[in-house]
Structure 1
Amino acid sequence: MLTIGVDTGGTFTDFTFFNGRETGTYKTLSTPHNPAEAVLSGLRRILAEQIPGAALGRTPMAVVHGSTVATNAILERKGVPTALVTNEGFTDVIEIGRQNRAALYDLHYRRQPHIVPAHMRFGVPGRVTAEGEILDPWDEEAAARAVEEIKASGAESVAVCLLFSFLDPTHEKRMGETLRGLGLPVSLSHEILAEFREFERTSTTVVNAYVSPIMTRYLTALKNGLKRDGGHGPGLRIMQSNGGSISADTAMRESVRTILSGPAGGAVGALSLGRAAGFDRLITFDMGGTSTDVSLMDGELPLTTASSISGYPVKVPMIDIHTVGAGGGSIASRDPGGSLAVGPESAGAAPGPICYGLGGTRVTVTDANLYLGRIVPERFLGGAMPLDAEGARLGIEKLARELNLPPAELAEGVLAVANANMERAIRVISVEKGFDPREFTLFSFGGGGGMHCAELAGLLGMTRVLIPVDPGILSATGMLMADVVKDYSRTVMRPAGDFAGDETEAAFAELERDGLNELAAEGVAPERVVHERFLDMRYKGQSFEIVVPFGLDMIEAFQAMHEQRYGYRNPDKPVEVVNVRLRSLGRSERELPKPGAMSGEGISPAARIGEQRAVFHGAELDAAVLDRTKLRPGNRFSGPAIVTEYTSTTVIPPGVEARVDPWANLILNLG
């Protein structure tokens, strides 16, 4: 079976494929106006040029796709008109939210209007108590009136979130049945997020309702395009934010679970390849064309339920990934104070950096790297996309005159500002959470990561960097490594000392039955299913929980995790179990690459393809240009050097030592 991983980014759309023992990669510029165009054209090219006799619509294949469609719909506020049904008197909870202020000291701060305006929020009678008992009965006539008002409002999707429906969903189900007559997609909160805290549950359900029709249209068009010429379509799976994949049909219903699908693929791939190479304490650094994603992995994928997007809480489990607007396409400019600023605005895929030759006129990080000799223009994308070095030079010199700086100093300043932005991002997920980055390996990938990773590691005091083969398409590769994953949770709100034995087993058993049934519907055989148990725990009276892996002494495990995260423990304070949480996995059958035989330390002459002048810290030096495909396990060399490959370029600064490990990873030693 031909399997293809596809990651749609802001600048490039990346492909990786496995066809028996054959593997291959491909990158093409994204098409932001219609992301499916780049996906379909890339698949056609792979089939036509790399797999003899294959054709779209006629060749059996499986596609795993990471998409930014749901993310962009929220960020750009381009979801569908959405109505909210909740209890009478609670229609404004979604806008009131919490007392947290996003910009505490900004006297002119104003929140954006909510994606569900006040006239599209509808209250209905009926009430379930905090104990799960029905206090006020359901009113069918009031529900029917609300449906008529929703019909007149022009809503194209409906979110339903009633108080304590996670304890008794009877009223919510009846509201859903009444709404079905409208023919609109309906998101019920007890199906999307069966947990307490009505604001976060409502917000998550509203976001799902807001983006699901957009995702449904996109995936339907993509599936139709994959069935071109009347042939059969492939098995299409969508990457989730939690590091697992789901069927396209599930993704259409629960699109909120795909918010970080692209970066999640990279995190899965990084952990898998890092473990194989002997490193499981990783800080991942994924620098693309538009943004940079970073994550800290202390032996496992870091999951969180405290994410938000564009100010809207999204409480479904996600890999804990921090994103900043720093990428190869980040635009350099003069700020109002006359200083150099870089990002977060990006040139994206259209028009892109000046050096792409597609009409870009503003200097970007990629242009600065090219000007400093850190990119080999004729080998960009394996020579398939030669760069306009002269255009980049003219752009750099023009901006340098505006800032009254020498051009080389300006270009290095652009990189320094971008590196500082990315350094701050890594400190957010490490130092601010009680971890010392010096104890971790920096795992660098993405199209731009290799050009910045050594200097970034130096800023953080890290001594080791790992760059895998084909780092520019690792997110697509990770998608093919991902398990099928289903997440479940239930609020129990019990003292930790009392929640044990049969009661705990009964709570997990119910969730595990759901997991087995839903994974079977996804085509996963029972012998491939693994269940991972967790408890959300807190000190009584706290507002937030810690997700603790289930084990023998849960209270001690919670105390230890609390101390690591917040710097103290309180053994005299009662501990509560708030939620039981289950992660059901259908294990992937994809095998990791095998280690190669070690060669000598010397580099083959075929790997040395020339030299190039490059600037480091104000000095212009001769840097060796190496072809990564010709490097062999055991090879060692020192900077300055520029290592080229199809999907990325790796810059080795002076004084940095590099070696090739048995898995063909580049390991940089900063001493």
Structure 2
Amino acid sequence: MDSQNWRLGIDIGGTFTDLTLLEQSSGETITLKTPTVPADPAQGIANGLEALKKRGVNPSDIRYFVHGTTIGLNTLLQRRGAKIALLVTEGFRDILNLQRLRLPVPYDFRSRLPEPLIPRERVFTASERLLHDGSVHEPLDEERLRGTVADILGSGATGVVICFLHSYKNPAHERRAAELIARWSEGRLDVSASSGLWPQMREYERAVMTSANLYIQSNVQKYFSTLQERLNEAGVASTPFITQSNGGIMDIRSAAEAPVRTLFSGPAAGVIGAVQAAKSAGIDNVITFDMGGTSADISIIENGQPTFSQSNHLAGLPIPLPAVSMYSVGAGGGSYGWIDNGGLLKVGPESVGSDPGPACYGRGERAALTDAFLVCGYLNPDRFAAGNVRLHGDRSLRALEPIARHLGTDARAAADRMLQVAIANMYAELSAVMEQHGFDPREFSLLAFGGGGPVTANFLAEEIQARSVLIPPKPGTLCALGALSADFAHDAVLSLQRMAADVPFAELGGHYAALGGSASSWLDAQDAPGLEGRTLFYSLDARYKGQAFEIELPIPPELLQDGDYSRLETSFHDLHRRQYGHSDPGAQIELINLRARIVGHVRKPDAQSIPAAPSEAKASGVRNVLLNGREYEARIYARGNLLAGHAISGPAIVEQDDTTIVVLPGWGGRTDAGGNLILEKEAKA
């Protein structure tokens, strides 16, 4: 190919590594799925680049490379991180063990708090103390610290996290301790100070997040080094950018310094891709449904914007960084069926992954959801993953036999039951999300992507009574496309913790100006290519005096300019009423954290269009399928043959290289000008 301006987005999932290649000037798009290599994820990328090369794409023509990674996430979940120590203020040695003294499952007295990343024997104390306002109550005892450094080295730790009380107000003690530890350890200890990573109140959350960052850092940096080597070997000269949990991207150097910001990067990129897909279809409110090989991730897009959370948890550990709101269900194409001690059929959360994979891949022995899809007739064994993975139906039937015997039925019916259980799990999680946000699912569309999302979306949409199902043109690789659509983004925070009446508006504006300057400096250092402008967003965390937790209030720029505190107070009361059903206009408001987010806008892929249909859609054949316990003859359509205006009726199967779409009886589908397939309930005759 002659094109010289390719942009490559990559998402590594538990089963497949997805690549989306976009030629910026012509708009030509190439998508590809290649099996993930769990032991060496960078090799999966190298394999994908080699496959692209065979299709005529010279890696040296790739001018922009962005990549979502799960290395940090997997390191944390599998507890395979570095051996690190923690240095805290004297008297707070048990901070990681005490946690928040709340049962993980309030109604289960046998539930237990998660094991800390750092055991108590590697938690050390320093003689120092700051007061809540940041003033020094007791200076740092540097002589005692010298002996503590020797003890830390003697523990076998390779790094140390420093988290002193109230350091978010005054980082001086942490910075001095970090300087001395680096000097006295002669470079043998990696040092990370909590105030440098995220200067926000609540020392337990700050300690856990900083510990998680250092815990995963060595593995992430090792992977980034390997990735850079493989890209160099392949001839890719562009600087890699990495997707973040907040839906933005950053350069690989920034990601190596703060890998904790990448923990939810893959799913977040999918949501950004979903925003673009919903926009192209003219739909503002959608529930995103990303089903891959390991899990199904759910998020909410309201009024065309993703929702964010400041209080995420991972494996029971708090990660208080801004991130796209995400809710996961352990139900993916690789989730396998099993019988619990009570004799009930369960599906997931464990997955067979890509190696050995579902039984139909030819190596595994367990019956996974992909096996159920195949046995129920949804999948074409010759077209799975664009024909790159041959499916073996006989192995699926064999793997399903133990479940079928237990249920007293045949393998095909057992596969249908597995799917029903998985849909029930998804419905339970989505019901909780709907209640939490307080929205009516009949006002939302379900946007399905990932390899398994379009297979199961119609089932789930019928359960929740969603308005419609939206399936973008290339749903199997939407996360990779989302990475290409992601802007550079950075969040800065300042903990204030003062009553609003005690903060002059001029001081408030000064704080926001400083935060905005810090965020702008970060963006300047990214050396981001071809930005199309930048935008600063401000918000604050506030609460009524006496409350334990706060809510985030957006701050329009004009509010800071006119200096009207009453507008800010009115906005807070209105937001509190919307979220909790009540407000107290006579109560004092406490300002907890001030936030600034900068967004450096990258050029988005141009909207695609497809030709208008000259005639009715024609099926390429029929296939027997089992849907919710009933046998049907489903018409088969090729997605590439569905043009703008084409309409189909269920039961139907729509096949494409990166996924398969199931259309239920009583539902119909239509293709819009952007190539999106929209499924809706058909009116009863």
What range is the shorter-chain TM-score in?
A: over 0.9
Structure-2 residue corresponding to 1:548: 553
Q: Which amino acid in structure 2 is aligned with residue 627 of structure 1?
A: A
Aligned position for 2:97: 95
- Match 1:189 to one of 194, 197, 215: 194
1:39 to 34, 45, 59: 45
Q: Which residue of 1 aligns with 2:428?
A: 424
One-letter code aligned to 1:30: T
2-side partners of 1:477 and 1:232: how far apart? Answer: 19
SS of the residue aligned with 2:604? coil
Q: 1:590: Cα distance to partner? A: 2.4
Contact 1:157 1:213 in 2 (8 A): no
- 2:239 counterpart of 1:228: no
- For 2:616, what is the secondary structure of its paired residue? coil
Q: Which amino acid aligns with 1:37?
A: Q
Matched residues in 1 for 2:392 and 2:666: separation? 30
Q: Counterparts of 1:413 and 1:568 in 2: how far apart (Å)?
A: 44
Q: Secondary structure at the match of 2:65?
A: strand
The amino acid across from 1:246 in the alignment is M
User: What is the distance in 1 between the residues matched to 2:300 and 2:614?
Assistant: 34
CA distance in 1, matches of 2:532, 2:29: 28
2:590 maps to 1:576: yes
Give the conservation status (yes or no) of the 8 Å contact 1:339–1:403: no
Number of the residue aligned with 2:395:
391
Q: CA deviation at 1:287?
A: 0.6
Alpha-carbon deviation of 1:64? 0.9
When residues 544 and 112 of structure 1 are mapped into structure 2, their CA distance, relative to the original with a 3 A threshold, is: closer
TM-score normalised per structure 1: 0.95
After the TM superposition, which parts of structure 1 deviate over 6 Å for at least 4 consecutive aligned residues?
Answer: none
Give me the whole-angstrom Cα distance separating, in 2, the residues matched to 1:253 and 1:280. 36
Paired residues for 1:301-312 under 5 Å: 301-312=306-317
- Quick one: structure 1 residues 652 and 67, their matched pair in 2 at CA, closer, same or farther if it must change by over 3 Å? same
- Check the 8 A contact 1:658/1:669 in 2, yes or no: yes
**What do the CA deviations read for 1:373-408 (whole angstroms, capped 9, x no partner)?**
111111111222221112212322442112212433
Determine the structure 2 residue equivalent to 1:369. 373
Q: Which of residues 117, 120, 125 in structure 1 aligns to 2:119? A: 117
Percent of residue pairs identical: 36
Shift of 1:596: 4.1
Which of 41, 54, 58 aligns to 1:49? It is: 54
Deviation at 1:527, TM superposition (A): 6.7
- Secondary structure of 2:382's partner? helix
Q: Does 1:593 align with 2:607?
A: yes
Alpha-carbon contact 2:471-2:677 (below 8 Å) kept: yes
Q: State yes or no: 1:342 paired with 2:347.
A: yes
Aligned residue in 1 for 2:563: none
Say whether 1:281 aligns with 2:281: no
1:531 is displaced (CA, Å) by: 0.5
Structure 1 match to 2:31: 25
Distance 2:569 2:276 in 1: 30
Contact 2:113–2:316 under 8 Å retained in 1 = no
Unmatched segments (≥5 aa) in structure 1: none
Q: CA contact under 8 A between 2:608 and 2:675: conserved in structure 1?
A: no
**Distance in 2 between residues matched to 1:416 and 1:29, nearest whole Å:** 27
In the alignment, what sits opposite 2:451? 447
How do residues 598-617 of structure 1 correspond to structure 2 at under 5 angstroms? 598-600=612-614, 602-603=616-617, 605=618, 608-617=619-628
Moved more, 372-381 or 543-552: 543-552
The residue aligned with 1:80 is 82
Please, which moves more after superposition, 568-577 or 259-268? 568-577
CA shift, 1:369, in A, is 1.2
How far off is 1:112 after superposition? Answer: 4.7
* Match runs of 1:248-647 below 5 Å: 248-299=252-303, 300-357=305-362, 359-497=363-501, 499=503, 501-524=505-528, 528-551=533-556, 552=559, 553-600=567-614, 602-603=616-617, 605=618, 608-647=619-658
CA distance in 1, matches of 2:508, 2:91: 35
Greater mean alpha carbon deviation, residues 558-567 or residues 435-444: 558-567
Q: Are positions 1:205 and 2:216 aligned together?
A: no
Distance 2:128 2:531 in 1: 41
Give the Cα–Cα distance (whole angstroms) in 2 for the partners of residues 158 and 233 of structure 1: 35
386-395 or 549-558: bigger deviation: 549-558
Residue 429 of structure 1 and its aligned partner are, at CA, apart by 1.9
Q: Contact between 2:381 and 2:392, CA under 8 Å: does it hold in 1?
A: yes
Could you state the TM-score of these two structures normalised by the residue count of structure 2? 0.93
How far apart, in 2, do the equivalents of 1:419 and 1:586 lie? 39
CA contact (8 A) 2:8 2:62 kept: no
Q: Which amino acid aligns with 1:616?
A: L
SS at match of 2:9: strand
* Cα distance, 1:49 vs structure 2: 1.5
CA RMSD of aligned residues (A): 1.8
**CA distance change for structure 1 residues 443 and 223 in 2, over 3 Å: closer, same or farther?**
same
620-629 vs 440-449, which deviates more?
620-629
1:495 deviates by 2.6
Counting matched residue pairs gives 662
**Which deviates the most, 562-571 or 24-33?**
562-571
Deviation at 1:69, TM superposition (A): 0.6
The letter for the 1-side match of 2:72 is A
Whether the 8 Å CA contact 1:296–1:430 is kept in 2: the answer is no
Instruction: After TM superposition, list the pairs within 5 Å mapping 1:53-72 onto structure 2.
Output: 54-55=58-59, 58-72=60-74
CA distances 1:101-157 after superposition (whole Å, capped 9, x unpaired): 113344444445321111211111222211111111222212222222222221122
CA distance in structure 2 between the partners assigned to 1:294 and 1:599 by the alignment: 33
Counterparts in 2 of 1:527 and 1:670: CA distance versus 1, 3 Å: closer
Distance 1:480 1:232, change over 3 A: closer
2:220 alignment partner, one of 215, 219, 222: 215
Cα distance 1:60–1:413, how it changes in 2: closer, same or farther (>3 A)? closer
Report the Cα distance in structure 2 between the residues aligned to 1:67 and 1:423, rounded to whole angstroms: 28
Instruction: Give the counterpart of 2:6 among 2, 5, 10.
Output: 2
Change (3 A) 1:526 1:593: closer
Question: Does 296-305 or 589-598 show the bigger shift?
Answer: 589-598
Residue 549 of structure 2 aligns to a residue whose secondary structure is: coil
The aligned amino acid for 2:31 is: T
Deviation per CA, 1:302-357: give whole Å up to 9, x if none: 11111111111111111110111001111111221222111111111111111111
For 1:561 and 1:275, the matched residues in 2 are separated by 26
- Name the CA distance, whole Å, in 1 between partners of 2:15 and 2:577: 41
Partners in 1 of 2:420 and 2:575 — Cα distance?
Answer: 35
Hey, what's the Cα distance between the residues in 2 that align with 1:168 and 1:351?
Answer: 51
CA–CA distance in 2 between the matches of 1:368 and 1:60? Answer: 39
**Partner SS, residue 430 of structure 1:** helix
SS in 1 for 2:599: strand
Aligned amino acid, residue 662 of structure 2: V
Aligned to 1:160, the other structure's residue is in SS state strand
Any gaps of 5 or more consecutive residues in structure 2? 560-566
The whole-number CA distance in structure 2 between the counterparts of 1:517 and 1:288 is 37
Displacement of 1:363 in angstroms is 1.1
CA offsets, 1:397-434, max 9 Å, x none?
44211221243332221111000111112122222331
Q: How many angstroms apart in 1 are the aligned matches of 2:350 and 2:358?
A: 12
Q: Distance in 2 between matches of 1:60 and 1:360?
A: 36
